[in-house]
Amino acid sequence: MRKKRRKPWPAECVWPEPLIEGEGESWDADDARMLKLDAAGEELLDIKAYFDACVEEGRLNEDYSLNEEWGRGVDRPAADWTPEVGEKYWYDGFDIDAWEADLSSHINLLKIPAQPLEQDPVYYLRDVTGYEFINENLLRQAFTRRAFAEEYALYGSNEELEFIGDTVLNTLVTREMAKQLSETLQTLPEAPFQSVLDEGELTRLRNEFVSGEALSAKAAELGFDRFILYGSAEEHSEKALEDAMEALIGAIMVDSGWDWDAAERAADRLLDLQIANPEELLKQTFYDLFNAWHQKRFGAIPAYELTRIKVKGKLFGGPYQCTIRFQVPANDRGLSADQRFDVEAETRSKAREEAARRAYTFVVANGLWMNLTDAGVIPRFEDSINQLQELFQKKYIDAPSYEFEETTGGKWHCECLCSGVNGYGTAASKVKAKKKAAFMVLVRLLDAAGICRPEWKEQMWAMGEE
């Protein structure tokens, strides 16, 4: 039973108003067989097929009435015959009018009336997900905000579907990561399950796909906002896009009877779950780097304020401005302890990343990234590895990490990363390449602390040319 509408369905809405029983178009068996139907719909088609078969064998006449001549001279007269299925439609013959009325009523409660292809949300969403809905009304519900549902007296919104989709997406991405990044080794009984990444890295990698920012960005890229039914007082938002993406996955799970393979195929098409290069996705960003530094120094991460910039009078669809407010250590450079930068970019993540990069560059350029003034370090190439380790043990810096790669020509390339500063070196031996990388990091750390001498920089660059 439909609630009484508080107001007429919005004009030119991309979604037609939900039908009630008795509304909609007429369907015949041939058209219905081209649709994906539920069990009740398939049962109705089976009834028609059964009676058609009876006509073909001669038990029924062309008008579906009983053929009185069938069975003459056999033990069971034709007059005593009753159908094996569809008894409710048998009244001295198959009542095809009643059957067609039931079929049309049932299909119209499952399917949304077709629209021109360029405007049809059902066609578009089937194309992008690769999933054909049985009950297409679940699609409209997946894009219905609670404010819209209350305003137009609908029985529900997308919130419950969103709840399901959120959990399902986390599971699907976790399962895909396990398939691509782990293995079970029978030869390692103490720990058969082995993953390429540790727990923290796996969590960060999963967030690259299922975070609110990632989901809303994908939904915006796919043009989902034009399908969302907002309340008249609501503004278009990234949160609504995120919710719609999750609700769409939830709707697929409900419609498919919890077919995980169907949901995974749809999620892969929507989010591209192939993880070809996890290192790139996990690469430390300026946002991570600067937040960690600020947290360690001042006990809190910087304040990021993100706002959408109006374009041609419209709030939704424009670039973002990110305002970052952060602190710097007490200094003799005349810099205020409180700093602020404003940057613009086309997405939230890019605006936030650029704001953090600007802040990081500012702090490093002013020699305030770290305090090494009392460390008494004079970088020496031969001792550079031990000098870095000593600074770490004295808690001046984070633990240095080294990565090696053998290059063409039989040489070794070493990358060193420490406290947000990187260095590199190439040499005929791994040890010398490591020393070069450690020396470069030492010099850059001292430079970031504002106590680097010009001759140390000259030596660093000269070694890189060897």
Residue 180 neighbours by CB under 8 Å, 6+ apart? 274, 275
pLDDT in tens, 399-425: 899 989 888 888 999 999 888 888 999
Residue type at 351 in one-letter notation: A
Rounded-to-integer distance, Cα 343 and Cα 212, Å: 22
3-state secondary structure of 275: coil
pLDDT grade for 270, boundaries at 50, 70 and 90: very high
* Cβ proximity of 355 and 323 under 8 Å: yes
Which CA distances in Å does 314 have to 192, 200, 230, 274, 459? 55, 40, 16, 35, 55
Main-chain dihedrals φ then ψ at residue 163, nearest 5 degrees? -60, -45
Q: In 302-364, which ranges are E strands?
A: 303-308, 320-327, 338-345
Mean pLDDT of 30-47: 94
Alpha helices in 154-272 (DSSP H): 159-181, 199-210, 212-221, 238-255, 260-271
pLDDT in tens, 127-158: 999 999 999 999 999 999 999 999 999 999 99
Q: Which two tokens stand for residue 97?
A: 């009018």
* Cβ proximity of 239 and 212 under 8 Å: yes
The predicted pLDDT at position 195 comes to 81
The predicted pLDDT at position 141 comes to 97
The predicted pLDDT at position 344 comes to 92
Residue 190 neighbours by CB under 8 Å, 6+ apart? none
What sign does the CA torsion over 172, 174, 177, 182 have?
negative
Determine how many CB atoms are found less than 10 A away from the CB of residue 351: 24
The predicted pLDDT at position 422 comes to 87
The predicted pLDDT at position 317 comes to 58
pLDDT in tens, 49-95: 999 999 999 999 999 998 888 766 555 555 677 899 999 999 889 99
Main-chain dihedrals φ then ψ at residue 428, nearest 5 degrees? -70, -25
Determine how many CB atoms are found less than 10 A away from the CB of residue 425: 24
Mean pLDDT of 38-56: 95
* Cβ proximity of 285 and 356 under 8 Å: yes
Lowest mean pLDDT segment, chosen from 95-109, 187-201, 439-453: 187-201
Determine how many CB atoms are found less than 10 A away from the CB of residue 272: 11
Ordered by where they begin, the domains of the chain are 29-108 (no CATH), 156-281 (1.10.1520.10), 284-365 (3.30.160.20), 384-464 (3.30.160.20)
The predicted pLDDT at position 463 comes to 81
The predicted pLDDT at position 438 comes to 94
Answer yes or no: is pLDDT of 111 > 90. Answer: yes
pLDDT grade for 369, boundaries at 50, 70 and 90: confident
Q: 319 vs 388, which has greater pLDDT?
A: 388
Answer yes or no: is pLDDT of 44 > 90. Answer: yes
pLDDT grade for 250, boundaries at 50, 70 and 90: very high
Residue type at 113 in one-letter notation: P
Rounded-to-integer distance, Cα 8 and Cα 143, Å: 19
Q: 23 vs 335, which has greater pLDDT?
A: 335
Q: In 371-420, which ranges are E strands?
A: 401-406, 412-418
The predicted pLDDT at position 62 comes to 94
Answer yes or no: is pLDDT of 314 > 60. Answer: no
Answer yes or no: is pLDDT of 315 > 60. Answer: no
The crossing angle, in degrees rounded to 10, of helices 212-221 and 260-271 is 80
Mean pLDDT of 388-409: 88
Long-range contacts of 415-419 (CB under 8 A, 24+ apart): 416/388, 416/440, 416/441, 417/441, 418/388, 418/392, 418/445, 419/369, 419/370, 419/445
Phi-psi region of 263 (alpha: psi -120 to 50; beta: other; left: phi over 0): alpha
Answer yes or no: is pLDDT of 7 > 80. Answer: yes
Residues carrying an active site annotation: 166, 246
Answer yes or no: is pLDDT of 278 > 60. Answer: yes
Give the whole-number percent of the chain exceeding pLDDT 90. 53
